Amino acid sequence: ADFDQILEPIRRAVVPTGTILYSEGESANAVYTVRWGLVKLVKQSPDGAPRIVRLLGTGAAVGLEALKEGVYWHSAVAMRETALCRVPFGVLDRLQTGNAQMTDRLILQWARFMEYADRWITDLSTGPVKLRVQHLIALLLEITDSTTGEIEMPHVDDLAAILGTSAESVSRAMAELKRAKVLNRVAPRTYRCDLETLSRLTGLHSPSADFARIA
């Protein structure tokens, strides 16, 4: 009964594409967990242009960075229809009290984010655009928990903002993957990916849904 009372303030919602969960610099009062869908974290660069610095999918916690200073470091925006749980800081504090499993999960999330930041730099920010697009597709398959090889691709402008290149360069790389049948269109902006070929092109293992979960 005590646990049910603690969980009562946790709200679940399904939000449409483009929903802003919070904005960069805003005072923080909650963490969000992603049940399914995709959220982008956006930061303003010195020249004022928005840059996508992280993508978060099924099982990820959004806004953990704000636990330390009470301010959100980025803007969080739903990239597609997304199901979320909103966990107020007070509830999170109470859940951690005497609950070693919750604390362990939060530590695991932090560790995953550190690993994720390294991958973002090495796989998505360096090398030819063609290879970076391939790495991004593999990453999207992983964090959206895709077990079928199907993927809903973000808008080309978002892909360019993630990779730090032009929309034209991304479009050329995507077109080449479609011609090679690595990506096969099954619906508007949705593709079935040839996982074995993608793995061979990127030199990575086949994408797997092992992203850390706390939800």
Q: What is the pTM (predicted TM-score) of this model? A: 0.75
pLDDT digits (tens, 9 = 90+) for 61-87: 899 888 888 999 999 999 999 999 998
pLDDT digits (tens, 9 = 90+) for 17-36: 999 999 999 999 999 999 99
Q: What is the pLDDT of residue 32?
A: 93
The answer to whether 29 and 69 are in contact (CB under 8 A) is no
pLDDT at 190 over 80: yes
Q: What is the pLDDT of residue 1?
A: 47
Coil vs helix vs strand at 183: strand
The answer to whether 137 and 151 are in contact (CB under 8 A) is yes
Dihedrals φ, ψ of 70, to 5°? 75, 20
For CA atoms 142, 61, 9, 75, the dihedral sign is negative
Q: What is the pLDDT of residue 157?
A: 92
Mean pLDDT on 135-143: 89
